[in-house]
Structure 1
Amino acid sequence: MRTNEWDCIIIGGGIAGLQAAIQMGRSQHTCLVIDSKEEGRSSLCKDYRNILGWPDGISGEDLRALGREHAQKTGIEFLKDHVTTLKDVNGRFHVKTTEHEFTARTLLLATGITDRIPPIPNLKECLGMTIYICTDCDGYEVIDTPTLVMGSGEAGANFALSLLYWTNQITYINHEKNDIPEDLLMRLKESGIYYIEEKIEAVRKEGDSDFKGVFLANGELIEGERAFVSFGGNDVHTALADQLGIDVMNNRHIHVNPRTKETSIKNVWAAGDIVAHSEQATIAMGEATQAAIWIHKRLMKLLKEE
């Protein structure tokens, strides 16, 4: 039954938040997960293929649904709401949402990031299936395959170069026509990467999500079998961390203790993409479990002192 006081409140119900919730539930602490949209970066991935136990892949949506079900079985409660304010008041964290107010002994921030992806028709339908965002996750999917990089300026150019480990059949389309230094352009040319500076009108696809290329604003069709997006400027959701005065790095990611995942503010932890810009669900799971274990250790001490 929901109360106003919790041992731990987890803000963010993505992969990191759910994994932490499972660990907290198994530790038998009262824990509330608050998520405003019940969707996040993992929703973009329609088929994770690098997660232990899922050799044939699993969608981010299905993985989250299973994680939520798992967490609820351990007693975790969920609230769909938007956290507006965080305050530390005499050792208790006051959490204000659009409709509620709570207090918690500990907090875990797992608010993630949002990729900057222009609204190019048919692009999102292919994301996670034949269009990807991370070479570490999905470079394997484009081995020796004609691959397009849809991006912007230097971010896209450097991304295209990173793909050379997997394939040498690369076309980089600078959709926003942002400037690229001459030396970087030369590296693209010397590496055999075909460079196009033109706006993309739409993705060409077959069926629901089978990428086949892009139509450019000049009417040209650029064919390809797979693609990546790299526009840079992703939104790291650390505004709540700012409210508490948490140490945030220049790239807007949160600095944490590498062993415990505790932030610079005592009794506040962070996990997932807001910590390490890894773009890896498995790393988010590991960090979240690590954080939850140390939250449990702290709660044992706090409860003993009360």
Structure 2
Amino acid sequence: MENKNFDVIIIGGSYAGLSAGMTLGRSLKTVLIIDSGTPCNSQTPHSHNFLTQDGRTPQEISLTAKDQVEKYETVKFHNGVVREIVKSSNGFEAETESGEKFNAKKLIIASGIKDLKPDIPGFDECWGISVLHCPYCHGYEVRNEATGILGNGEFAYEFSKMISNWTNDLTLFTNGKSSLTAEQTKKLNEHHIQINEDEIERFEHHNGKIENILFKNGSVKTIKAVYAKIPFEQRLKVSEDLGIELSESGHLKTDAFQKTNVYGIYACGDNTSMMRSVANAVAAGNLAGAMVNKELIEEKF
């Protein structure tokens, strides 16, 4: 790649990044999308709740999107991982792990997040297949099945309330002593939601499809799906070095137009929102691309 200078660098080439890239390509802006090719939903079998794409695999959607974005001549791609970003006289300089440096007037961070999975054997293999994060993405496919929630305290109570919409066969696994209040416990019992405080030994599964939860006390619970909200960290570590503010939940803080507190830097996708879905990422990327284009036009006019 000869050109090292662009109007916009997009860090992350999944749904949000590709959506922003298409918007900017259609706006005649020179764009570089830097992506490592390791999306967080790589083992998720199907994507849902996205009009025109319902039921397709994440890879199919991503490959189709990239093929369409590549048709815009001003949009280029680079396979790599960004290790450093510094402010420059003309905007920003991004350096990859291989030592290549690229410059741009604006940045869009669409690098997503890294899930920090619990040390429970079988959890990792089931994540995105039968251990789920979002009922809107996957709840319909496991409706009315024996379903579990892995969690405790306030989150577990609220999530139990939510998931009860999709099944009447629901168990909350606190994986240790419950920290629910007496009132919360009473409410869950009234709605026939079981509370299991046994410590989990492992998830028994077949090709990522959970079959049983095995507990340290020797008991077993047959289950078809488990919902879990697990901690995460920003995939792009250097975002903090730039002074980008984080929300209380750990997401990059943006305004209604996907703009961060650092002038010239926008963000979109899973790294900015608790709503982790393909549809949301595409919408956020589209908006970020349009707002960056508007800012570039206003600076030049």
For the superposition of Structure 1 and Structure 2, which TM-score range results when normalised by the shorter chain? 0.7 to 0.9
Quick check: 195-204 or 261-270, which moved more? Answer: 195-204
Deviation at 1:142, TM superposition (A): 3.2
1:239-289 deviation digits (Å, cap 9, x = unpaired): 43322222322222233231x322222221111122221112101101101
Relative distance call for 1:242 and 1:127 in structure 2 (3 A) is: closer
Normalised TM-score (structure 1): 0.87
Normalised TM-score (structure 2): 0.88
Relative distance call for 1:176 and 1:293 in structure 2 (3 A) is: farther
1:276 and 2:280 are equivalent in the alignment? no
- Matched letter for residue 164 of structure 1: S
Relative distance call for 1:151 and 1:59 in structure 2 (3 A) is: farther
1:237-256 aligned within 5 A: 237=235, 239-256=237-254
Note if contact 2:49-2:136 (Cα within 8 Å) is conserved in structure 1: no
Note if contact 1:24-1:292 (Cα within 8 Å) is conserved in structure 2: yes
Partner Cα separation in structure 2 for residue 178 and residue 34 of structure 1: 44
Note if contact 2:152-2:180 (Cα within 8 Å) is conserved in structure 1: no
- Matched letter for residue 200 of structure 2: I
Note if contact 1:46-1:61 (Cα within 8 Å) is conserved in structure 2: no
1:32 and 2:29 are equivalent in the alignment? no
- What residue is the counterpart of 1:63 in the other structure? 61
Q: Relative CO higher for 1 or 2, CA cutoff 8 Å, sep ≥ 6? A: 2
Query: What SS does the aligned partner of 1:41 have?
Result: coil
Quick check: 262-271 or 193-202, which moved more? Answer: 193-202
- What residue is the counterpart of 1:94 in the other structure? 93
1:68-147 aligned within 5 A: 68-75=66-73, 76-98=75-97, 99-147=99-147
Deviation at 1:214, TM superposition (A): 1.7
- What residue is the counterpart of 2:222 in the other structure? 223
Partner Cα separation in structure 2 for residue 285 and residue 103 of structure 1: 25
Query: What SS does the aligned partner of 1:43 have?
Result: coil
Structure with higher helix content: 1
Structure 1: which 5+ residue stretches go unaligned? none
Deviation at 1:5, TM superposition (A): 1.0
Partner Cα separation in structure 2 for residue 119 and residue 144 of structure 1: 28
Deviation at 1:133, TM superposition (A): 0.9
Paired residues in the alignment total 299
Partner Cα separation in structure 2 for residue 140 and residue 67 of structure 1: 25
Deviation at 1:103, TM superposition (A): 1.2
Quick check: 80-89 or 118-127, which moved more? Answer: 118-127
What percentage of residue pairs aligned between the two structures are identical?
26
- Matched letter for residue 47 of structure 2: Y
Partner Cα separation in structure 2 for residue 103 and residue 276 of structure 1: 27
- Matched letter for residue 82 of structure 1: V
Deviation at 1:42, TM superposition (A): 2.7
Relative distance call for 1:9 and 1:177 in structure 2 (3 A) is: farther
Partner Cα separation in structure 1 for residue 244 and residue 262 of structure 2: 6
Deviation at 1:44, TM superposition (A): 4.3
Note if contact 1:40-1:114 (Cα within 8 Å) is conserved in structure 2: no
Quick check: 9-18 or 146-155, which moved more? Answer: 146-155
Deviation at 1:152, TM superposition (A): 4.7
- Matched letter for residue 279 of structure 2: T
Structure 2: which 5+ residue stretches go unaligned? none
Deviation at 1:299, TM superposition (A): 2.6
Deviation at 1:158, TM superposition (A): 3.0
Relative distance call for 1:149 and 1:108 in structure 2 (3 A) is: same
1:202 and 2:202 are equivalent in the alignment? yes
1:297 and 2:294 are equivalent in the alignment? yes
1:52 and 2:51 are equivalent in the alignment? yes
Partner Cα separation in structure 1 for residue 186 and residue 232 of structure 2: 26
Ranges of 4+ aligned residues in structure 1 off by more than 6 Å: none
Deviation at 1:108, TM superposition (A): 0.2
Note if contact 1:238-1:253 (Cα within 8 Å) is conserved in structure 2: no
Quick check: 234-243 or 221-230, which moved more? Answer: 234-243
Note if contact 2:173-2:197 (Cα within 8 Å) is conserved in structure 1: yes
